Every structure is written in C-alpha cells, then in structure tokens.
C-alpha cells in the first residue's frame, strides 16, 4: 500500500486536510505553510515543509522541492508528491537513510500548484470509467466528462483579473475547459519562445507576460527565497525523466539570440536523470527531445539559480488512470517493475542534500 494507505484520488479538500493533519501530528518535523498568492478564484495554496526542528530558524539548509499538478488533469502528479511527504514523515526515526536525509535538509512539497484547475477537473471529472460507461457494458472511450481534462489555470479573460467565484461559474460553462494560462509556459525561462502559444484559447497559452499568474509567482518566490538545490515537478504522462533545457539547442527567435545549447551542468544533470530513470524504468532525456517548450518551471529555476530541476512524466498513457496504477507506480510494483518513483525521489533528495553522496559528480 501507499504510505498513507489511500486507495483513491484525493480531492483538493483531501490534500489540504492531509497536509494540515501531517503538520499537526508531527509538529517537530512538519510545518504547514500558505504560499504568498491565493489562486485567481481566491483559494489559498498550501505546502508542507519537512525537516528536523522545522519550526525553528531555517539554518540555510539545502532544500529539495517537489511540485505536483501544474496541469489540472494530471492527478497522479499530486498524489506522488503528497505520498512522498507522508513517506518521509512516517519513516523518520526508524529508517536510517530517510532520517539522515531529513536531518540534513528541508523538503518542501506543494502537491497542488494549480488549485482552481485541479478542483474543476477533479469535481467535474469523477473517475467514471471512460472505457465502460455504456449501459450495455460496451467499452467506450468516447466521453470526456465535464472538465476532467482541463489543463490550464482558471484565468477567464486574458490579461484581466476576474472576481472570486468565476472559476466555479466557468466549471459549468463550455468555455471553462479551454480558458486559462498554461502554467508550464508562464515561467520566465525563455518565456515567449518556441513551444508556447500566444493565443488564449490554445492549450499551451503562455500568459500575458512572464509570471503573470499567481500560481507561478508563488513558485518563483518560493525558489527565490530558499536554496533549492534539486527539484522535481511532477506531470503525467509518458514515463519520462526530463532535464533542461526545454527547447532545442539552437537560437530562440526574438530572444536576442539566447543559445539553448546543453546546459553548463549537462553531464551531472544527465547522470542524475539516468540514475533516477533506472529506478522507475522511465526514459531519461532532454526535455526538448519530447517537444520544444519555453516558460517551463525548471528551465526558469535551473537557468536562474543553478539548482537542478527535472520533470517526471508519470505513467505510460493516461492523465489519471485507475488508482491502483498510481499506487504501483509509486512503489514500483505490479507491472511497474523496479523501485518506482519512491526510490527515484529519494535519489533526488540525496542529490539535493549532497551531490557527492550519490557519486553523481565523482563518477
């Protein structure tokens, strides 16, 4: 079973309750915090910080950051982030490796970055089995129920603020599904370059300006204020471990000729990516080998701070598969052989604490 024992996808309320409970039950180890900017619909966005003496001064420890649900429909991306938090806390004090890692770092987990979009997707997209909806029992993949496959945030009108509650209205309107900014095109890393759209209705709409959205502002401020030495931003799907950069290694038009060659740290980034992929069985590659993107989370964070950043694309072929697959993919069980994302995350945490611990730089 998962560290939490859950056997079904969380709702947004479940995430918030689980984070609050974790902090309440382990005050010396877990701190609940609210990100600086509420969502467009006025929802608070929460995270947990895990570390020894977490209520005390921050002490400049290296931070490992784990993010989920930039894209509303990618439910497993939040589940794996939340389970990793529970995993660390429940094994602290008994598992030597985890205890040591937690003592030497701060682990920050924001399982649902895009709270409005996720709530829309999750509540209007109950996991009716899309393959067996037919009354007569005939398998069918025709229907996309409601907003279950929403991707972007809840920006309703391009470049304009909208009053609280409008996301809820959007959820019941045909326009709701397509509205919004793609948060993984809204960061400042090569913003406005290839692989991001300037059309509001497009799934990869980049937003009116870099960091125009409160959700990306939150992550910018979180990373800017701490020493995030390694981060993983979870998405679904395609079984990939992706490393910077997100756009092919030529020049970005209109960006004053910024070259997107291999990053300075390519060798170390590749080694760590390969090592994580060896655990979860994913393919390790440059992000641009999937397709070009600009304005992504880790293109900004890596190129701004030097902290290593990876996208995990969880799962083979579905945005939110039946929950038992999510369990197996975390643990590395069933048809998902290997040691799963759990072990890959622990390796990333080891790198965050001390890159030499895992011989990434020393070979």
Dihedrals φ, ψ of 221, to 5°?
-70, -35
Does 121 participate in binding ligand 0X9 (rule CB under 6 A)? no
| Rounded distance between C-alpha atoms, residue 65 and residue 112, angstroms | 13
Does 235 participate in binding Zn ion (rule CB under 5 A)? yes
Does 71 participate in binding Zn ion (rule CB under 5 A)? yes
- Least distance (Å) from ligand 0X9 to the CB of residue 229? 18
- Write the binding mask 44 to 73 for ligand 0X9: x where contact by CB under 6 A, - elsewhere: ---------------------------x--
10 Å CB burial of residue 202 (0-12, 13-18, 19+) is: middle
Does 290 participate in binding ligand 0X9 (rule CB under 6 A)? yes
Closest CB to ligand 0X9 among 152 and 358?
152
| Rounded distance between C-alpha atoms, residue 214 and residue 231, angstroms | 20
Q: Beta strand pairing status for 106-110 and 46-50?
A: antiparallel
Q: Which helix (H) or strand (E) holds 271?
A: helix 266-280
The CA–CA distances, whole Å, from 227 to 35, 103, 166, 327, 334 equal 17, 16, 36, 31, 37
Closest CB to Zn ion among 62 and 295?
295
Residues classed as catalytic: 313
| Rounded distance between C-alpha atoms, residue 227 and residue 305, angstroms | 9
Does 105 participate in binding ligand 0X9 (rule CB under 6 A)? no
Q: Which residue is nearest to Zn ion (CB)?
A: 235
Query: Among ligand 0X9, Zn ion, none, what binds residue 114 when CB lies within 5 to 8 Å by partner kind?
Result: none
Binding to ligand 0X9, residues 149-188 (CB under 6 A): 184
Q: Which range in 2-10, 26-34, 267-275, 287-295 contacts ligand 0X9 by CB under 6 A?
A: 287-295
Does 87 participate in binding ligand 0X9 (rule CB under 6 A)? no
**Contact call for residues 247 and 194 (beta carbons, < 8 A):** yes
Does 287 participate in binding ligand 0X9 (rule CB under 6 A)? yes
The CA–CA distances, whole Å, from 91 to 32, 80, 95, 112 equal 19, 16, 5, 23
Which residues are near ligand 0X9 by CB under 6 A?
71, 74, 184, 235, 242, 246, 287, 290, 293, 296, 298-299, 311, 313
């Amino acid at each position: 079973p998962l560290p939490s024992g859950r056997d079904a996808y969380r709702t947004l309320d479940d995430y918030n309750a689980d984070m609050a409970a974790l902090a309440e039950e382990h005050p010396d180890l877990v701190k609940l915090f609210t990100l600086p900017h509420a969502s467009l619909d006025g929802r608070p966005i929460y995270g947990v910080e895990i570390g020894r003496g977490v209520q005390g001064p921050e002490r400049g420890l290296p931070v490992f950051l784990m993010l989920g649900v930039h894209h509303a429909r990618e439910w497993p991306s939040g589940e794996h982030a939340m389970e990793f938090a529970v995993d660390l806390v429940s094994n602290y004090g008994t598992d030597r490796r985890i205890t040591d890692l937690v003592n030497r770092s701060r682990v920050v987990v924001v399982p649902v970055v895009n709270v409005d979009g996720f709530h829309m997707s999750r509540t209007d997209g109950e996991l009716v089995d899309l393959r067996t909806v037919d009354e007569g029992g005939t398998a069918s993949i025709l229907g996309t129920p409601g907003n279950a496959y929403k991707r972007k945030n809840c920006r309703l009108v391009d470049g304009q603020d909208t009053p609280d509650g409008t996301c809820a209205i959007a959820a019941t309107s045909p326009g709701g599904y397509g509205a919004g900014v793609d948060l993984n095109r809204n960061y400042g890393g090569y913003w406005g370059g290839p692989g991001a759209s300037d059309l509001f209705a497009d799934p990869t709409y980049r937003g009116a300006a870099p960091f125009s959205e409160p959700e990306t502002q939150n992550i910018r401020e979180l990373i800017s204020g701490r020493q995030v030495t390694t981060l993983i931003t979870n998405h679904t799907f395609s079984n990939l471990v992706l490393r910077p950069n997100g756009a092919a290694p030529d020049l970005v038009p209109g960006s004053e000729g910024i070259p997107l060659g291999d990053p300075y740290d390519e060798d170390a980034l590749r080694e760590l990516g390969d090592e994580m992929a060896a655990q979860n069985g994913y393919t390790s590659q440059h992000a641009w080998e999937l397709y070009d993107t600009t304005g992504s989370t880790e293109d900004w964070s890596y190129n701004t701070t030097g902290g290593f950043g990876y996208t995990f694309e969880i799962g083979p072929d579905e945005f939110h598969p039946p929950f038992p697959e999510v369990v197996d993919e975390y643990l590395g069980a069933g048809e998902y052989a290997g040691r799963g994302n759990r072990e890959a995350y622990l390796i990333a945490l080891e790198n965050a604490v001390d890159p030499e611990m895992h011989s990434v730089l020393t070979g």
